[in-house]
């Protein structure tokens, strides 16, 4: 699947370097004023050095300084000047894209001759914050009951189960070390960066600056750790399992298994032998296995047999014929396992900093399918493989200007099948599942014939120029090029009379076998200025995005097979962004933000079924992609207030609105008569830009930073998210169900009106009873469309599911064993074993149906009650993990 565009990657990158620069989106800044402790006058020429880095500056004639390009973390800052004593400020927190204000008083040498060490206090109000954003450090990640950074993302105000401020899930840009790593096939995050390897995560849930593109709703920016000058080892392992009293709902092993949910991870960092501090490394790895909480039994085998060769089974006074019986052992139906590895090298090359970061990941698992409850071996397994290499080179031109050059390549592949070889003789008849699914019955045999394989390869070239042009202006500008190669192969294995009752592969280029290999291209340029005045901070910028699908589409969709093909048109948009932060007091800041945002739909919607071959068997159920789709566009506004009540207590209030246009939808086309087309007058659907939505809401966040062993964060979101379609296929689904499509604004499927998140931490890990932290989430119910007997009885999404409430716990204590200090920890997810509902029967709005509308008896091996009981309509029950960690 290697693309010829690979040969263009380096030339395009070199051309980009000659043309422009792009901003570093992974560093912060320390700025302030150095004054005489007695007179208050400016100290000119004072040296300001960020300890253990090569970053520093000197004060100007007014005593001001700026140190830019500092990686996120906590540092000591040393300030010295001729005739004055030296002062070291410890605990200075630097965050991604933020300015840390640090004013320092120096005492004259005659008064103070010894080095003075003081502790910095991070202000509760972020003066230069012009949009809604949160930065989570590695220390904060360690203190929360979370297994991945995505769990922390979902704890932020305005985020509901991966939806940022009412947007669809694919509207978020993910970056690792400043490089975008979304899989453009579905706009998902392609990698799982482990908590152990994360230095800081920045979550922007509101409007964002011009430096970020191909996103409409938010940005998640991950900065990974570097190796240090000293060797360090970290090891963690845990085991656990699900512990619930709902055995009538969740069939599972008799006792809690300590190996049902296991993980081992570790990291090693330090200098590369022989190079000292000139070359360091950070390596990490993780292995995890989760058996899941949804089980079935191997009552039958995934085979097919002629009717007269099937086995009779007596069930409740009736006889059921099955191809072959299994051993009835328990089998997990939503298990998953994953292995990840990372190696990062950092060194000094040609006067600059070079970092190479490689990530590998493999995944395997199954997605629950209720119909396979008695036939678990007939369900497909999903296999994933991801690999990435990210290179960054940073060169400091002067104390006020530096360059970041970035190049990356990554691939993400997904395969799905029951048997890897599509010609495997174990594949049963392709009619098996249709024949072996009686009324209210789990499958009596057969297997999914699906063979699905896709791969996305992306090469990225960008570079980052940042310059503190004056004390007031931090100017950024840049460009980025992304080359994609998307390959897909999908078919159902044939096994019928036409194949001699042997497994066979349908011919490519037919409705039964879809494949493509596409090479679209993206590019962008932007410029931005961060202006910091005593009375105002302004982030102003503009961004130009460009996209070309580089393929062809039919010129006449009433003749999808025979009309001439035309080349797709390049798409572009100019997007202004503006953010203002206005201090109203020493502890209060108002911010206002506005911006236009551009994003192409997930590329699968552009390229799916590109041959435009109509399948009469599927009809409207097989929509066609459209490679000439327009970009989706959002205009967003927000107004917010940060107010501090003390050095540790603060409140944040934000009101926002989003206007969303060109959302993906479907259009129904009719094949014209008399033009040589097959299946004339048949109707099919294709993806177009037709939908509209808007979101308005308010978030309130309260923070009490840890003090005297207690910290608290509370945030509440009230939000209304509406559109004329939640799913791009809504119109096709309505037509298939015989419902009249209605063009009106309705709540989207993820429209949670009320969401409350609470995080509390008590104690310290190395003291007394240790550290205990709790995370509680309460949310109102998501919408659904009410029906009776499969007929809609209300407007789309006019009813609500039950609300949800969950509590997670994390407790840890450092103990001393000889010269070691291991940490023992306990994590409990869904501590109260709550039965939170994720799906409902649309006739009751509950996970249990109204039996009046489900007439008839079960004709399979199971009872009707068992078939209608849906454990997958509930969140996972209580999960208990016990583990140990050790740092050396």
What pTM does this model have?
0.89
Taking the alpha carbons of 18, 21, 26, 27 in that order, is the dihedral positive or negative? positive
| Residues linked to residue 315 through DSSP beta bridges, in sequence order | 318
Pick 682 or 9 by higher pLDDT: 682
**Of residues 373, 191, 183, 353, the one with CA closest to residue 277:** 353
Averaged over 750-767, what is the pLDDT?
Answer: 89
**How do beta strands 104-106 and 28-36 pair?**
parallel
Out of 129-133, 230-234, 538-542, which region has the weakest mean confidence (pLDDT)? 129-133
**Of residues 782, 779, 759, 780, the one with CA closest to residue 771:** 759
d(CA 629, CA 317): 58
Count other C-beta atoms under 10 Å from residue 276's C-beta. 10
pLDDT tens, position by position, 159-192:
888 889 988 888 899 999 888 889 999 998 877 8
| Domain around 13 | 6-119
**How do beta strands 64-70 and 28-36 pair?**
antiparallel
Q: 269 pLDDT exceeds 90?
A: yes
d(CA 778, CA 780): 7
pLDDT band of residue 54 (cuts 50, 70, 90) is confident
Q: Classify residue 97: in a domain, yes or no.
A: yes
Distance of CA 604 to the CA centre of its chain: 18
pLDDT band of residue 713 (cuts 50, 70, 90) is very high
Query: SS3 for 819?
Result: coil
Q: What is the pLDDT of residue 757?
A: 95
pLDDT band of residue 113 (cuts 50, 70, 90) is low
Extract the tokens encoding 370: 């209720």
From residue 663, alpha-carbon distances to 60, 551, 598 in Å are 51, 22, 11
pLDDT band of residue 851 (cuts 50, 70, 90) is confident
**Of residues 465, 590, 482, the one with CA closest to residue 529:** 465
CA dihedral in degrees (782, 785, 790, 792; nearest 10)?
Answer: 170
Contact 241, 261 (CB under 8 A): yes
Find the CATH number of the domain harbouring 110: 2.60.40.1120
Q: 239 pLDDT exceeds 80?
A: yes
Q: Classify residue 43: in a domain, yes or no.
A: yes
**Of residues 195, 138, 156, 145, the one with CA closest to residue 774:** 145
d(CA 432, CA 304): 6
Number of domains in the chain: 1
Burial (CB < 10 A; 0-12, 13-18, 19+), residue 838, is middle
d(CA 650, CA 123): 10
- DSSP 8-state code for residue 699: E
Q: 19 pLDDT exceeds 60?
A: no
From residue 127, alpha-carbon distances to 534, 580, 587, 643 in Å are 10, 10, 9, 10
| Element of type H or E holding 422 | none
Q: What is the pLDDT of residue 3?
A: 40
pLDDT tens, position by position, 483-504:
999 999 999 999 999 999 999 9
Extract the tokens encoding 174: 């993910």
| Element of type H or E holding 659 | strand 649-670
Averaged over 706-711, what is the pLDDT?
Answer: 85
| Residues linked to residue 284 through DSSP beta bridges, in sequence order | 267, 342
pLDDT band of residue 694 (cuts 50, 70, 90) is very high
The percentage of residues in the chain with a pLDDT greater than 70, rounded to a whole number, is 94
Q: What is the pLDDT of residue 298?
A: 96
Q: What is the pLDDT of residue 5?
A: 37
pLDDT tens, position by position, 650-676:
999 999 999 999 888 888 888 888 777
Averaged over 544-552, what is the pLDDT?
Answer: 95
Q: Classify residue 75: in a domain, yes or no.
A: yes
pLDDT band of residue 8 (cuts 50, 70, 90) is very low
Tokens 């400091």 correspond to: 396
d(CA 729, CA 749): 13
d(CA 434, CA 441): 12
Q: What is the pLDDT of residue 365?
A: 96
From residue 666, alpha-carbon distances to 607, 669, 735, 798 in Å are 14, 10, 11, 22
Q: 826 pLDDT exceeds 70?
A: yes
**Where are any strands of DSSP class E within 469-617?**
473-492, 513-518, 521-532, 537-548, 552-554, 565-567, 571-585, 588-599
Q: 12 pLDDT exceeds 50?
A: no
**Where are any strands of DSSP class E within 418-472?**
450-468
Instruction: Locate all alpha helices (DSSP H) within 608-697, ordered by sequence.
Output: none
Q: Classify residue 33: in a domain, yes or no.
A: yes
Extract the tokens encoding 837: 């509902």
Q: 9 pLDDT exceeds 70?
A: no
Tell me the pLDDT of the chain averaged across its residues: 89
Q: What is the pLDDT of residue 279?
A: 93
Q: What is the pLDDT of residue 1?
A: 41
Contact 244, 874 (CB under 8 A): no
Q: Classify residue 78: in a domain, yes or no.
A: yes
d(CA 816, CA 672): 80
Q: What is the pLDDT of residue 743?
A: 67
Question: Per this entry, what is the length of the chain?
Answer: 888
Out of 500-509, 608-617, 752-761, which region has the weakest mean confidence (pLDDT)? 608-617
pLDDT tens, position by position, 567-616:
999 999 999 999 999 999 989 999 999 999 999 999 999 998 888 888 88
Phi-psi region of 444 (alpha: psi -120 to 50; beta: other; left: phi over 0): alpha
Q: What is the pLDDT of residue 15?
A: 37
- DSSP 8-state code for residue 619: G
Extract the tokens encoding 411: 């691939």
pLDDT band of residue 791 (cuts 50, 70, 90) is confident
Q: Classify residue 55: in a domain, yes or no.
A: yes
Averaged over 281-288, what is the pLDDT?
Answer: 95
């Amino acid at each position: 699947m290697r693309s010829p565009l690979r040969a263009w990657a380096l030339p395009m990158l070199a051309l980009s370097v000659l043309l422009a620069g792009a901003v570093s989106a992974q560093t912060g800044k320390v700025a302030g004023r150095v004054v005489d402790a007695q007179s208050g006058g400016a100290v000119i020429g004072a040296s300001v050095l960020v300890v253990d880095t090569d970053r520093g500056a000197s004060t100007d004639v007014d005593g001001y300084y700026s140190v830019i390009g500092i990686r996120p973390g906590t540092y000591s800052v040393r300030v010295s000047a001729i005739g004055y004593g030296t002062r070291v400020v410890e605990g200075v927190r630097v965050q991604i894209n933020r300015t840390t204000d640090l004013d320092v008083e120096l005492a004259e040498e005659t008064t103070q001759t010894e080095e003075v060490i003081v502790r910095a206090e991070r202000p509760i109000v972020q003066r230069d914050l012009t949009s809604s954003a949160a930065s989570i450090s590695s220390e904060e990640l360690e203190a929360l009951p979370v297994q991945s950074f995505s769990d922390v993302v979902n704890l932020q105000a305005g985020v509901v189960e991966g939806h940022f401020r009412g947007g669809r899930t694919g509207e978020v840009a993910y970056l690792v070390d400043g490089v975008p790593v979304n899989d453009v096939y579905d706009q998902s995050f392609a990698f799982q960066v482990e908590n152990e390897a994360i230095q800081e995560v920045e979550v922007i849930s509101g409007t964002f600056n011009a430096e970020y593109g191909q996103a409409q709703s938010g940005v998640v920016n991950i900065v990974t750790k570097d190796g240090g000058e000293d060797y360090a080892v970290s090891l963690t392992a845990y085991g656990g399992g699900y512990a619930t009293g709902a055995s009538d709902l969740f069939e599972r092993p008799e006792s809690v298994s300590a190996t049902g949910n296991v993980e081992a991870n570790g990291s090693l960092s330090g200098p590369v032998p022989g190079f000292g501090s000139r070359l360091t490394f950070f390596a990490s790895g993780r292995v995890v296995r989760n058996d899941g909480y949804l089980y079935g039994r191997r009552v039958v085998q995934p085979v097919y047999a002629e009717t007269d060769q099937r086995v009779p089974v007596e069930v409740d006074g009736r006889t059921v014929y099955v191809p072959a019986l299994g051993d009835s052992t328990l089998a997990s139906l939503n298990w998953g396992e994953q292995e990840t590895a990372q190696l990062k090298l950092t060194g000094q090359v040609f006067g600059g900093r070079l970092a190479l970061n490689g990530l590998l990941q493999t995944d395997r698992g199954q997605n629950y399918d209720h119909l396979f409850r008695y036939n678990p071996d007939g369900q497909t397994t999903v296999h994933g493989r991801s690999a990435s290499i990210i290179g960054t080179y940073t060169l400091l031109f002067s104390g006020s200007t530096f360059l970041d050059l970035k190049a990356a390549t990554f691939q993400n592949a997904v395969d799905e099948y029951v048997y890897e070889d599509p010609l495997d003789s174990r594949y049963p008849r392709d009619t098996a599942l249709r024949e072996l699914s009686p009324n209210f019955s789990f499958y009596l045999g057969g297997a999914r014939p699906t063979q699905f394989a896709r791969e996305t390869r992306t090469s990225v070239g960008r570079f980052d120029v940042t310059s503190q042009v004056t004390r007031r202006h931090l100017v950024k500008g840049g460009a980025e090029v992304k080359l994609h190669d998307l390959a897909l192969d999908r078919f159902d294995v044939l096994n019928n009379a036409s194949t001699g009752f042997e497994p066979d592969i349908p011919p490519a280029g037919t409705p039964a076998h879809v494949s493509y290999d596409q090479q679209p291209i993206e590019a962008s340029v932007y410029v931005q200025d961060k202006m910091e005045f005593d009375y105002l901070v302004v982030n102003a910028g503009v961004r130009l995005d460009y996209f070309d699908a580089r393929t062809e589409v039919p010129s006449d969709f009433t003749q999808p097979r025979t009309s001439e093909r035309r080349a797709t048109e390049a798409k572009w948009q100019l997007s202004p962004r503006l953010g203002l932060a206005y201090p109203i007091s020493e502890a209060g800041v108002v911010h206002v933000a506005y911006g236009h945002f551009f994003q192409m739909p997930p590329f699968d919607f552009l390229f799916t079924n590109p041959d435009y071959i109509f399948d009469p068997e599927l009809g409207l159920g097989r929509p066609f992609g459209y490679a000439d789709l327009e970009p989706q566009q959002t205009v967003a506004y927000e107004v917010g207030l940060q107010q501090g009540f003390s050095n540790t207590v603060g409140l944040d209030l934000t009101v926002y609105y989003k206007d969303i246009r060109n959302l993906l939808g479907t259009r129904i086309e009719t094949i014209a008569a008399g033009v040589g087309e097959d299946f004339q007058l048949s109707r099919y659907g294709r993806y177009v830009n037709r939908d509209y939505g808007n979101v308005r809401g308010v978030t309130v966040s309260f923070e009490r930073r840890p003090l005297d062993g207690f910290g608290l964060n509370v945030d509440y979101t009230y939000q209304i998210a509406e559109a004329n379609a939640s799913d791009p296929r809504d119109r096709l689904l309505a037509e298939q169900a015989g419902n009249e499509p209605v063009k009106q604004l309705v709540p989207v499927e993820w429209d949670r009106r009320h969401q409350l998140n609470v995080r509390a931490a008590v104690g310290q890990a190395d003291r007394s009873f240790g550290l205990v932290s709790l995370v509680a989430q309460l949310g109102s119910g998501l919408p659904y469309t009410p029906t009776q007997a499969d007929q809609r009885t209300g407007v789309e999404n006019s009813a609500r599911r039950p609300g949800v409430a969950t509590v997670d716990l994390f407790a840890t204590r450092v103990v001393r064993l000889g010269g070691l200090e291991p940490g023992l920890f306990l994590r409990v997810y869904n501590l109260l074993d709550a039965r939170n509902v994720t799906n409902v029967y649309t006739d009751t709005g509950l996970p249990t149906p109204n039996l009046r509308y489900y007439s008839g008896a079960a004709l399979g091996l199971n009872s009707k009650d068992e078939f209608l009981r849906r454990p997958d309509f509930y969140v996972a029950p209580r999960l208990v993990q016990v583990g140990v960690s050790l740092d050396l």
